[in-house]
Amino acid sequence: MPLNNFVSLGKSGLRVSPLCLGTMTFGMDWGWGSTPEESHKILQAFIDKGGNFIDTANFYTKGHSETIIGDFVTKKGFRRDQLVIATKFFGSLYQGDPHGGGASRKAMYSQLDASLKRLQTDYIDLYWMHCWDKNTPIEETMSTLDDLVRSGKVRYVGFSDTPAWKATQAQMLAEHHGWAKVVALQIEYSLLERTVEGDLMPMALEMGMGVTPWSPLKFGVLTGKFTRENKGKVEPGRGDWVKENLTDKAYDVVDELVAVSKELNTTPPKVALAWLLTKPGVVSPIIGARTMEQLEDNCGATEIKLSGEQIKRLDAVSEPKLNFPADFIKRAGTFGSGGTTINGESSDVNPLAPKSDAERFTGKSTASVR
């Protein structure tokens, strides 16, 4: 599946490449990342491969990431409409200003105007709420997003890093009022972060939101670079972001990931991304390439075909402990389905259920009925 095999983003007409280019590493303003020149080469290579989906945020590298993208599109003379440019609001660039960030009407208008200037464009294809703003009524945020869509400055709306219950509330408000709906959900999801399978992923499927996972390689832990054998000997470029995730559980996952990649004569990052692409609801994982080599490797994930047995092995070694009532619901077929098969899922017979009509308490009165 090449990058120009486009897919619909959620319940919308927006068509995006099966991998999205994340640009949090564009600019050296945080002390690490890619220079503007390197970033432009990565952008060009991604587009040459057929990719059209580019993701950034207003505060990435202090706003420089948006500027780098804007400079690239302007200088290269691309037809703006051929690209799907997504950016986010919420992050504050102004210390001491309570309206510098967040999801209030006042903050959103000023953040959008600033992003449009840095990106040198008239509109944003996909405008993400970067995180739920608990200090702003969701009605205010959703009505403002609808106004922005109607104004033509925003084409589609997405949510990132928001609880499932709040995203559902927002979607139901949009449905009720006829506002622009949330078409996409951006959340952390990988072999090392699967707790989203409890609520967020089922919610996205039910609510018509396409999922674009961030950190699909868990800050580089799933690259295969860090193993039990070299534990403590390889210094990660992102320091504690990586170190705090190098647990025994992570090493178990990496061991299996490396084993599968050897079987397929490929690399662990490609396998980790290919596994993610098999998950229902996942539309376009966000790859954060800092170098051309990383981009080349990650883009090859769309060509990897995992067998059913390999997927089961990766599923098993990375299986998460989900919040209640996930496990309870998983076992509910035993007492709710009567030992039948429904939609391809079979259940055991409930040993506590009556085995005959004679054992069944009917609740009928013993008095005669007139």
Q: What is the DSSP string of 186-231?
A: E-B-BTTB-GGGTTHHHHHHHHT-EE--B-TTGGGGGGS-S-STTT
Give counts: helices (H), strands (E), the chain. 13, 12
| Out of 75-89, 120-134, 154-168, least confident range | 75-89
Binned at pLDDT 50, 70 and 90, residue 370 comes out as: very low
CA of residue 238 relative to chain centroid, distance:
21
Distances from the Cα of 4 to the Cα of 20, 24, 270, 276, angstroms: 12, 23, 18, 19
Distances from the Cα of 61 to the Cα of 74, 83, 273, 365, angstroms: 20, 22, 25, 74
pLDDT of residue 296: 95
* Residue 311 φ/ψ, nearest 5 degrees: -65, -40
| Out of 39-53, 142-156, 223-237, least confident range | 223-237
Distances from the Cα of 274 to the Cα of 19, 201, 204, 212, 327, angstroms: 11, 18, 20, 14, 26
Q: Token pair of 276, please?
A: 């993610």
Q: What is the DSSP string of 95-157?
A: TT-TTSSSSSHHHHHHHHHHHHHHHT-S-EEEEEE-S--TTS-HHHHHHHHHHHHHHTSEEEE
CA distance 182 to 208: 8
Binned at pLDDT 50, 70 and 90, residue 289 comes out as: confident
What are the residue ranges spanned by the domains of the chain? 7-223+267-304
Residue 286 in this model has a pLDDT that exceeds 50: yes
**In sequence order, which residues have a C-beta less than 8 Å from that of residue 180 and are 6 or more positions away?**
145, 146, 149, 150, 154, 156, 157, 174
What CATH topology corresponds to 7-223+267-304?
TIM Barrel (3.20.20)
Coil/strand/helix, residue 269: helix
Judge contact between 250 and 274, C-beta under 8 A. Answer: no
Residue 57 in this model has a pLDDT that exceeds 90: yes
Average pLDDT taken over every residue of the chain: 93
CA distance 268 to 207: 32
**Model-level pTM?**
0.92
- For the chain, the maximum distance between any two Cα atoms, rounded to a whole number of angstroms, is 91
pLDDT digits over 167-203, tens only? 999 999 999 999 999 999 999 999 999 999 999 999 9
Residue 41 in this model has a pLDDT that exceeds 80: yes
Element (H, E) at 342: strand 341-342
CB atoms within 10 A of CB 242: 20
In the chain, the percentage of residues whose pLDDT exceeds 90 is 78
Residue 156 in this model has a pLDDT that exceeds 80: yes
In the chain, the percentage of residues whose pLDDT exceeds 70 is 95
Distances from the Cα of 269 to the Cα of 85, 181, 218, 294, 295, angstroms: 25, 33, 10, 9, 11
For the segment 83-89, the average pLDDT, to the nearest whole number, is 98
CA torsion angle 221 20 315 205 (round to 10): 140
Residues with a catalytic annotation lie at 60
Residue 53 in this model has a pLDDT that exceeds 60: yes
pLDDT of residue 235: 67
CA angle (187 as vertex; 66, 234 as ends), nearest 5: 80
